[in-house]
């Protein structure tokens, strides 16, 4: 049996006779009582998201899953297609599984898929991804003076990000996929 420290986004656990994919974990240490983790997780069978709280160190029943490196291909309707880079098989993933992470996908992006009994139940993105800037309006004069040194830019896959005023179209930016924040410019 594993404990709460083995919990992570994408891990599958058995909880009250159902299987859940962990979507979000919030560690809380109230100081006056024992620390706990508030886990938001989605049922594989019903799709319902629930929140539950585990005391730190408490046992959790983690279910074995299959992890595969796959490449993002394209979106059709409500489905996202990924290709297994070893056997070139294509799998489809519902938009629901990706949730908000879908906005970070771009053609050819390598991701890690997590499957349970043949179905992809979660997709892990690389922590940081490079995107080419397609639109970067000139910083308005006065922006710097007012302390606003960041501006909105549009990236190759439609993703919008806040980036420093000096960014120009064509610049390649490194974006943190956990926070959506600009990390650095990585032009060659």
Partner 1 sequence: MSQIAHLMNNKEKLEFKFAAVKAMREFFWSRGFSEIETPCLVRCPGQEPYLSPMRTIVHDEHGQSYKMYLHTSPEFAMKKMLAAGFDKIFYLGKCFRDFESFGGLHNPEFTMLEWYRTGVDYRQIMDETEKMFKFVVIKMKNHRLLSSANARLVEKKWSRVSMRDLWRERVGVDLNDVLSAKKMAALCRQKGFSAAANERYEDLFYKIFLNKIEPRLGLDAPTIVHNYPASMAALARLSKQDKRYAERFELYFDGLELANAFSELTDAREQARRLRQEQRLRKKLGQEVFPIDKEFINALKSGLPECAGIALGVDRFVQILLGCREINNVLSLPMKRLIEDN
Which residues would be at the binding site for partner 1 (CB under 8 A)? 16, 26-36, 38, 51-53, 55, 58, 147-150, 162, 164, 179, 181-184
Query: Contacts for 98-101 with beta carbons within 8 Å, 24 or more apart?
Result: 98/123, 99/23, 101/125, 101/177
In whole angstroms, how close is the CB of 120 to partner 1 at the nearest point?
27
| 92/101 with CB nearer partner 1 | 101
CA separation for the pair 109, 114 (Å, rounded): 16
In whole angstroms, how close is the CB of 11 to partner 1 at the nearest point?
16
In whole angstroms, how close is the CB of 108 to partner 1 at the nearest point?
24
36-43: strand order across its sheet? 2-3, 59-63, 12-15, 18-28, 36-43, 49-55
Residues, the chain, total?
188
| 54/80 with CB nearer partner 1 | 54
| 43/182 with CB nearer partner 1 | 182
DSSP assignment, residue 10?
Answer: T
18-28 and 66-76 as β-strands: parallel, antiparallel, unpaired? unpaired
In whole angstroms, how close is the CB of 147 to partner 1 at the nearest point?
7
| 13/121 with CB nearer partner 1 | 13
CA separation for the pair 124, 122 (Å, rounded): 7
By the 8 A CB rule, do 4 and 54 touch?
A: yes
| 71/176 with CB nearer partner 1 | 176
In whole angstroms, how close is the CB of 174 to partner 1 at the nearest point?
8
């Amino acid at each position: 049996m594993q404990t709460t420290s083995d919990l992570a986004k994408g891990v599958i656990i058995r909880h009250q006779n159902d299987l859940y994919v962990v979507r979000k974990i919030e560690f809380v240490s109230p100081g006056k009582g024992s620390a706990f983790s508030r886990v938001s997780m989605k049922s594989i069978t019903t799709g319902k998201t629930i929140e539950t709280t585990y005391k730190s160190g408490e046992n959790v029943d983690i279910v074995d899953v299959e992890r595969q490196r796959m490449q993002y291909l394209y979106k059709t309707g409500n489905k996202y297609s990924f290709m297994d880079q070893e056997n070139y098989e294509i799998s489809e993933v519902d938009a629901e599984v990706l949730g908000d992470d879908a906005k970070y996908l771009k053609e050819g992006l390598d991701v890690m898929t997590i499957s349970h009994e043949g179905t992809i139940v979660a997709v892990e993105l690389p922590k940081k991804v490079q995107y080419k800037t397609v639109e970067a309006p000139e910083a308005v004069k006065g922006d710097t003076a007012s302390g606003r040194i960041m501006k909105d830019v549009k990236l190759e896959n439609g993703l919008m990000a806040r980036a420093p005023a000096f960014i120009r179209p064509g610049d390649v930016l490194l974006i943190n996929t956990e926070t959506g924040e600009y990390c650095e410019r990585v032009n060659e």
